[in-house]
Structure 1
């Protein structure tokens, strides 16, 4: 029968799995604010896992199945987050390319609202 440390580690890894699946949902729909909030929550779970004196769950057969499920999701999340960031940077650069405040000092004065 699993002991208390095993159950605690198992519960934390299960939370990590659920948060990882939720991250995938929110990066797919590009709800970035919720995505970032979930990343912070998952980081808190990781901190709790690191604080455990030992992690007996990682030695069992269930860990191999969980690892096989989580690892591809994490790779997809990283890829999609980088793709979103690159798109966002390109869009931001395109918007700022239309800024003409530095090009003509007179135009900057005419466009101001007083």
Structure 2
């Protein structure tokens, strides 16, 4: 980002990037949220906050497919440096959250 004013209130669209990793398998997803939220308020606070944004997300070296039943939380696909894919069934929201290794606000466009 070239410029970010986290001090003054302003409505706009925030682009968030979430990074995942299991062993050497990695991936990231980007999505946008709108409103008057900046800094930590804009970042997802739990696994469901991330899952709720899958429909509009863009993925890099990964994919997430939420399950509709109660036996599993989601299926996640991550990629290593050799382009091998890890397919992993995530049992719970807590397990999903433990795969998150970083979050970053990468853009803010004021309305």
- The answer to whether TM tops 0.5 is no
More helix by share: 1
More strand by share: 2
Larger Rg: 1
Normalising by structure 2, report the TM-score.
Answer: 0.22
Say which structure, 1 or 2, has more relative contact order (CA 8 Å, 6+ apart).
2
